[in-house]
Amino acid sequence: MPFKVLLLDNVDPICADIFKQRGIQADQPEKISREELKKTIGSYDAIVVRSATNVDEDLLEFSNGLRIIGRAGVGVDNIDINAATTKGVLVMNTPDGNTISTAEHTCGMIIALARNIPQSVERVKGGGWDRKKFMGTEVHGKILGIVGLGKIGKEVALRMKEFGMEIMAYDPFTTQEQAGNIGVKLVELDELLASSDFLTVHTPLTERTKDMVSLKNAEKLKPGVRLVNCARGGIYNEEDLVPLIENGVVAGAALDVYTNEPPNPELYEILNHPSIICTPHLGASTEEAQEKVAVQIAQQISDALENKNYKGSLNSKSISLLTNEEVQPYIALAEKLGRVSGQIMPSNASNFAFEYTGLCIKYSDVLTDAVLKGMLSQYVDESVNLINARHYALERGYKLSETSKSDDKNYNDLITIRLGDSSDYKQISAAVFGPGDYRIVEIDGFGIELRLEGDILMYQNIDRPGMLASVAGTLASQNINIGALSLGREGKGTNAITAVIVDKKLNQDELQSIHNLDGVQNVKYISLS
């Protein structure tokens, strides 16, 4: 019997043509209900979706027989990858198909925002003229700030340079060398916000990027900045846009993405402001992009069904390791350690060394992939996984080295990461203590025992009486409870490192209160929740 594939969400018809050329039956119903899909999904070898179909755990309960889920596009927010992995279902996407389309749309939004094009079009079509009202600004000679210098961010930079813009970017996971190669100056986020005449974001929505622009940080923005968002809704606080415009902080905003899609009535009222232009998530909506991703996903699924190639796979390595109980705890440890490293390493670091001891040596290759996945997944605007993490790291200019050590005096199986001499915390080691029990055991030579969970406050201090009391008192005054703590020191009256697990996420003001304490330095906040 030939393989059978179900095509959903109005994927481009060329997808069916490619499957048929490969001898695969492709069914493309015009409309299918959720209940009908539950009844039929198990009879297909693969399904192709865009963003409309939610492939969640509930649907996957009916997927016995399904082998592959293909996403004709980049984002996989509508696919429960963990549930699919547990079911042994391969998940694929097409990470490159929408890059040019989204970059071009971003550039179009920048020009439209600068020259008031949508508003003036509406005025002329309504029988008006009012040339003075629609006076614009040139982009030539202006500073374009880019948050996230991945594939799309780079393409935007290259195009807007040709318009004569000066390009600055914030991306802590890209090296200075890589940015310099395309003529981009890397800076810290606060400098970017203070310098940018136009600001565009190309990063996922995370705790770190949510409300990156809001009334709360209005003083950080260059007055008159113009905002563009073709990435994720919520990076700019939508409710704050009108007050920011009315206060003169923001000159205008161009949005293609929203916290809720389609927007709710309250948001529609905000979008009606004359200084806000908006499009209905058109970043990837070009004929070329939709055809490209349809062709790519059909070829990828066909190759996978025929066991020829697994390009674009997001969880194939995870599936192969799912039955290997020996390595699973160390993969979890490595990814958690990577998440910690990504939050404490210096911006734009380029050299990382990984050392493995004991059983970890046997799986060093995949453990490095897991560390890099943890590092990158918090900020990179792609679906980072065990398969592609190393590729994204090398693409950003990382230099990686891996070594092994026959034994450690205290721990049999150990993972150590060296973050470079410029880091406040240069070396971290971690080990597995038991099922679900992962701990940091050493930082920069200080013996410390810290469970990798929850929200962690870490700092260095002089080892003198009252230091811990000062920190604990400051936290208590803000109603922040300490769940656990660990400290390491060189000796009495010397240097120490302290880590505190707190019961809530800390905001910038709460962190600053710790920074302000005498004797406390290099404060880091790590969220693993």
Tokens (6 digits) for 352: 């990382």
- The size of the chain, in residues, is 529
Task: Let me know: does 176 contact 186? Beta carbons within 8 Å.
Answer: yes
Task: Let me know: does 37 contact 54? Beta carbons within 8 Å.
Answer: no
Give me the pLDDT at residue 519, please.
Answer: 87
Tokens (6 digits) for 281: 């998530």
Instruction: Using alpha carbons, list the distances in angstroms from residue 494 to 353, 427, 429, 491, 497.
Output: 28, 19, 22, 6, 10
Instruction: Using alpha carbons, list the distances in angstroms from residue 454 to 54, 92, 287.
Output: 29, 31, 45
**Catalytic (active site) residue 281:** yes
Provide long-range contacts, Cβ within 8 A and 24+ apart, for 463-471: 463/489, 463/490, 463/491, 463/492, 463/493, 463/494, 463/495, 463/496, 464/493, 464/519, 467/496, 467/498, 467/519, 467/520, 468/498, 470/517, 470/518, 470/519, 470/520, 471/498, 471/500, 471/514, 471/517, 471/520
Q: Residue 102, Cβ neighbours under 10 Å: how many?
A: 25
The alpha carbon dihedral of 508, 383, 157, 277 has a sign of negative
Beta bridge pairs of residue 405: 357
The distance of Cα 463 from the centroid of its chain, to the nearest Å, equals: 37
Cα gap 243→239, rounded to integer Å: 8
- Give the closest residue to 100 by CA, choosing from 144, 152, 169, 50: 152
Q: pTM for this one?
A: 0.80
Q: Which of 50, 232, 396, 451 is catalytic?
A: 232
Give me the pLDDT at residue 206, please.
Answer: 82
My answer on whether omega of the bond before 223 falls inside 30° of 0, hence cis, is: no
What residues contact 456, with CB distance under 8 A and at least 6 apart? 340, 450, 499, 500, 501, 502, 525, 526, 527, 528
Give me the pLDDT at residue 321, please.
Answer: 78
Average pLDDT per 10 consecutive residues for the chain, totaling 529 residues: 92 96 95 94 95 93 93 89 88 89 97 96 92 93 96 96 97 90 94 97 88 95 97 94 96 96 91 96 91 96 90 84 84 94 87 92 91 86 77 87 79 90 87 93 89 92 86 92 85 79 89 90 90
Cα gap 80→91, rounded to integer Å: 9
- Give the closest residue to 285 by CA, choosing from 147, 28, 104, 49: 104
Q: Residue 188, Cβ neighbours under 10 Å: how many?
A: 12
Strands 198-201 and 225-229: parallel
- Give the closest residue to 375 by CA, choosing from 351, 416, 345, 411: 345
Reported in sequence order, the residue ranges of 325-384 that DSSP labels E, i.e. its strands, are: 351-357
Task: Let me know: does 5 contact 25? Beta carbons within 8 Å.
Answer: yes
**Catalytic (active site) residue 123:** no
Reduced 3-state DSSP string for 82-93: HHHHHCCCEEEE
Beta bridge pairs of residue 303: none
Cα gap 53→36, rounded to integer Å: 13
Cα gap 108→386, rounded to integer Å: 35
Q: Which of 36, 57, 219, 261 is catalytic?
A: 261
Task: Let me know: does 296 contact 270? Beta carbons within 8 Å.
Answer: no
Give me the pLDDT at residue 60, please.
Answer: 95
Task: Let me know: does 170 contact 186? Beta carbons within 8 Å.
Answer: yes
Complete domains list, the chain, with CATH: 4-96+288-315 (3.40.50.720), 99-278 (3.40.50.720), 321-527 (3.30.1330.90)
Q: Where are the alpha helices (DSSP H) in 281-327?
A: 287-305, 316-322
Q: Where are the alpha helices (DSSP H) in 12-80?
A: 14-21, 34-40, 57-60
Q: Which of 159, 273, 281, 391 is catalytic?
A: 281
**Catalytic (active site) residue 50:** no
Beta bridge pairs of residue 144: 167, 198
- Give the closest residue to 488 by CA, choosing from 438, 450, 527: 450
Calculate helix-pair angle for 117-125, 99-115, nearest 10 degrees: 70
Q: Reduced to 3 states, what is the DSSP secondary structure of residue 402?
A: strand
Tokens (6 digits) for 228: 């563009």
Cα gap 320→197, rounded to integer Å: 48
Query: Using alpha carbons only, how large is the chain's radius of gyration in Å?
Result: 25
**Residue labelled with tokens 């963003």:** 51
Backbone conformation region of residue 183, classed left if phi is above 0, alpha if psi is from -120 to 50, else beta: left
Beta bridge pairs of residue 499: 458, 486
